[in-house]
């Protein structure tokens, strides 16, 4: 069974149909790429899944359970974590605190009760340290998140999402604005996360990263799904080339 | 204790007022942790004061019960108000709370005049009942100690809440609600709870004030009191509870010094606020700690992404 299933998801803003009857399945432990030209509706699909928007029509099922009516914090508790296209961090708090806040839903009970349960808070703190070490960021754990360089801010964003121990991780352009080395580093991290059992939905404009790391790719154009296939087949799909890439050279350069 | 050093009616009165202002400033700052500036704080204090006075005089409840009832009634109003308005952001919440403050003041002075006393308010509010032989009179040393004890308990609890994990959540909500929701924090719930706690404290402060002052009128609880408390918090520095404490001391001293020229008092608040905003935007406390930390600043290490290649294993 699919981990997440979208059935006829439609989102309308006034007269504009941003997402038009999309069916999509995400299977456990895969990296699914979601691509499309600007304005294709990728981020809208994203926001529908994580509850920021409620879809006008259709349903979203997480392991068979209807989640399309839930609020974003409830969906986060169900095990869907997300990152943001424009970095949103707790800029004046330390990187470690960012991760601790990220682990809010981790564990049996919500951490808020650790006001009376100090041991649990300390465990969350220790775990946040482990997560930062895994991302190679333990040296900056006490810096304010807002003072980090761009690449590390993007990584922190992912680390916050990972801290909640999600089943499904939605990455919205994780490598935007990074250099080649940073992109490879980040994508390797994403791959490691998948090996740990986290399913990943990746929205990305960087074709190299998508083609290299995704097993399957869904292509959107004008709110519709125009292709769903392996990277190689998507690469040669006529519709995709016409709608999105313009020219096939796009895939072969650098 | 200070009144023992500088005894006298005036000193006791002033120090008792300090305690009242500390409670107000600390609770206002507590609400400001979630990024909401509650301009109705004086109104909530008024609700507590009137509730306590009316219950004591008409139903003859003991002060020790009405003290909490005043807080609870104020908190209930805060719950209703907060559930509706805390979804508003920034200046909008501020404006709505400003309106609420005026609504409370006008209601207190124009409705149920038989009970609430209209514009003349309520006089001869009963004093706290004697406990274990300790009597409380107006401007007595015992009343001052009572205010000190209640004030300390309030400040300490707020400090403890703020410095636990709960406080971290509040701070993160004020930084980014969106991020908090995305990691599963029900931000509106936290905001309402914080607001209700703040209103409860404003309410019990009102109860205490009603008895210690013996007399309350609706004009005690206008927006200018809210303004005064807000200036205290900003002037002292919002980052730490000490800021509020310092801000109150500074402004009460300025106020007492300027008493002979009472007309100029608001001007002095305004000027000192502007001076702080210009020269020390993080308030007096922030200004002092910045100098202290500059002295021990450590250089930050070089930052290269993936400094040492460790990966999730």
Arithmetic mean of pLDDT, B51-64: 87
Looking at residue A114, its pLDDT comes to 47
ipTM attached to this prediction: 0.84
Q: What mean pLDDT, rounded, does chain A reach?
A: 84
Contacts of B169 in chain A (CB under 8 A): 101, 104, 112
Contact A139 B307 (CB under 8 A): yes
Which helix or strand (DSSP H or E) is residue B130 part of? none
Overall average pLDDT of the A141-146 stretch: 88
> What span, in angstroms and rounded, lies between the C-alpha atoms of A63 and A75?
13
Rounded to the nearest angstrom, the minimum Cα separation between B84 and chain A is: 18
**Do A94 and B176 form a contact (C-beta atoms < 8 A)?**
no
Q: What mean pLDDT comes out for the span A104-125?
A: 66
Our CA-based measurement puts residue A20 at a distance from the nearest CA of chain B, in whole angstroms, of: 25
A239 in contact with B at a CB cutoff of 8 Å? no
Residue from A6, A8, A112, A12 nearest A49 by CA: A6
Q: What is the mean pLDDT of residues B232-239?
A: 86
Residues B63, B127 contacting (CB under 8 angstroms): yes
Phi, psi of B197 (to 5 degrees): -60, -45
Closest CA to B206 of B36, B75, B31, B79: B75
Between CA B273 and CA B277 the distance in angstroms is 6
Note the pLDDT of residue B45. Answer: 93
Among the partner-chain residues B176, B186, B300, the one whose CB lies closest to the CB of A88 is: B176
Residue B296 reports pLDDT greater than 80? no
Helix pair B9-32, B41-58: axis angle to 10 deg: 120
Test A81 with B171 for CB contact under 8 angstroms. no
- With contacts defined as CB-CB under 8 Å, which chain A residues touch B313? 134
Query: Does the structure show a pLDDT above 90 at B310?
Result: no
Q: A182 contacts in B (CB within 8 Å)? A: 305-306
> Tens of pLDDT along A185-218?
889 888 888 888 899 999 988 888 888 889 899 9
Q: Which of B183, B186, B301 sits opposite A102 (nearest CB)?
A: B183
Task: Find chain B residues with C-beta within 8 A of A104's C-beta.
Answer: 169, 180, 183-185
Can you tell me the distance from the alpha carbon of A210 to that of A208, in angstroms, rounded to the nearest whole number? 5
Alpha-carbon torsion, ordered A171, B189, B37, B252, to 10 deg: -130
pLDDT at B278: 85
Question: What is residue A107's predicted lDDT score, i.e. its pLDDT?
Answer: 65
Residue B104 CA to residue B223 CA, distance in Å, equals 10
pLDDT at B312: 41
| Angstrom distance (rounded) from CA A235 to CA A231 | 6
User: Are the C-beta atoms of B146 and B131 separated by less than 8 Å?
Assistant: no
Q: Is the pLDDT of residue B311 over 50?
A: no
Is residue B131 classed as helix, strand or coil in its secondary structure? Answer: strand
Q: Sorting pLDDT into bands at 50, 70 and 90, what band is B277? A: confident
DSSP calls for chain A: --SEEEEEEEEEETTEEEEEEEEEEE-TT-EEEEE-STTSSHHHHHHHHTTSS--SEEEEEETTEE-TTS-HHHHHHHTEEE--SS----TTSBHHHHHHHHGGG-SSS-GGGGGS-HHHHHHHHHHHHHHHHHTT-GGGTTSBGGGS-HHHHHHHHHHHHHHT--SEEEEESTTTT--HHHHHHHHHHHHHHHHTT-EEEEE-S-HHHHHHH-SEEEEEETTEEEEEE-HHHHHH-HHHIIIIISSTHHHH--
Contact B154, B27 (CB under 8 A): yes
pLDDT category of residue A109 using cuts at 50, 70 and 90: low
What does the pLDDT average to over B87-95?
Answer: 82
Q: Which of A99, A101, A163 to mutate to test the interface with B (most CBs of B within 10 A)?
A: A101
The confidence score (pLDDT) of residue A249 equals 53
Instruction: Kindly state whether A136 is in contact with chain B, defined as any CB-CB distance less than 8 angstroms.
Output: yes
Paired residues of A203 in beta bridges: A34, A172
Across the interface, of B165, B300, B307, the residue whose CB is closest to A143 is: B300
- Mean pLDDT lowest for which of A104-108, A146-150, A250-254, B283-287? A250-254
pLDDT at B275 (0 to 100): 85
C-alpha B4 chain-centroid distance: 27
């Amino acid at each position: 069974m699919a981990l997440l299933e979208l059935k006829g998801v439609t989102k309308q803003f006034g007269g504009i149909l941003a997402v038009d009857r999309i069916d999509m399945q995400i299977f456990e432990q895969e990296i699914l790429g979601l691509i499309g030209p600007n304005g294709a509706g990728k981020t809208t699909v994203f926001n529908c899944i994580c509850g920021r928007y409620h879809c006008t029509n259709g349903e979203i099922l997480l392991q068979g359970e209807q989640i399309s009516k839930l609020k974003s914090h409830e969906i986060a508790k169900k095990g869907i974590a997300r990152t943001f296209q424009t970095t949103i961090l707790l800029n004046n708090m330390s990187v470690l605190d960012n991760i601790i806040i990220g682990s809010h839903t981790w564990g049996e009970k919500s951490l808020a009760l650790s006001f009376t349960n100090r041991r649990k808070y300390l465990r969350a703190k220790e775990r946040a340290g482990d997560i930062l070490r895994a991302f190679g960021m333990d040296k900056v754990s006490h810096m304010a998140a807002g003072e980090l360089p761009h690449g590390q801010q993007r990584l922190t964003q992912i680390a916050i999402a990972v801290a909640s121990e999600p089943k499904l991780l939605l990455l919205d352009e994780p490598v935007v604005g990074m250099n080649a080395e940073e992109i490879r580093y980040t994508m390797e991290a994403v791959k490691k996360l998948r090996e740990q059992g986290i399913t990943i939905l990746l929205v990305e404009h960087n074709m190299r990263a998508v083609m290299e790391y995704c097993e399957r790719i869904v292509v959107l154009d004008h709110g519709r799904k125009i292709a769903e296939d392996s990277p190689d087949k998507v690469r040669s799909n006529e519709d995709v080339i016409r709608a999105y890439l313009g020219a096939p050279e796009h895939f072969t350069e650098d | 204790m200070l009144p023992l050093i500088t005894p006298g009616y005036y000193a006791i009165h002033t120090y008792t007022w300090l305690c009242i202002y500390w409670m107000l400033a600390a609770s206002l700052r507590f609400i400001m942790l979630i990024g909401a500036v509650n301009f109705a704080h004086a109104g909530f204090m008024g609700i507590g004061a009137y509730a306590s006075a009316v219950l004591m005089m008409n139903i003859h409840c003991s002060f020790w019960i009405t003290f909490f009832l005043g807080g609870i009634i104020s908190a209930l109003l805060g719950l209703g108000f907060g559930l509706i308005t805390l979804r508003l952001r920034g200046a909008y919440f501020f404006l709505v709370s400003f309106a609420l403050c005026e609504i409370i003041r006008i209601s207190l002075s124009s409705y149920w005049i038989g009970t609430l006393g209209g514009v003349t308010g309520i006089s001869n509010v009963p004093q706290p009942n004697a406990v274990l032989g300790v009597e409380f009179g107006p401007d007595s040393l015992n009343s001052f100690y009572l205010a000190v004890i209640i004030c300390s308990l309030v400040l300490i609890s707020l400090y403890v809440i703020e410095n636990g994990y709960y406080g971290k959540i509040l701070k993160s909500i004020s930084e980014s609600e969106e991020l908090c929701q995305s990691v599963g924090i029900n931000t509106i719930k936290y905001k309402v709870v914080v607001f209700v706690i703040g209103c409860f404290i404003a309410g019990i402060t009102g109860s205490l004030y009603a008895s210690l002052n013996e007399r309350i009128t609706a004009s005690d609880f206008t927006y200018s009191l809210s303004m005064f408390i807000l200036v205290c918090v900003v002037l002292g520095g919002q980052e730490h509870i000490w800021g509020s404490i310092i801000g109150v001391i500074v402004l009460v001293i300025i106020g007492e010094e300027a008493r002979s020229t009472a007309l100029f008092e608001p001007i002095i608040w305004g000027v000192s606020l502007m001076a702080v905003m210009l020269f020390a935007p993080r308030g007096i406390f922030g200004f002092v700690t910045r100098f202290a930390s500059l002295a021990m600043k450590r250089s930050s290490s070089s930052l290269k992404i993936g400094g040492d290649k460790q990966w999730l294993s």
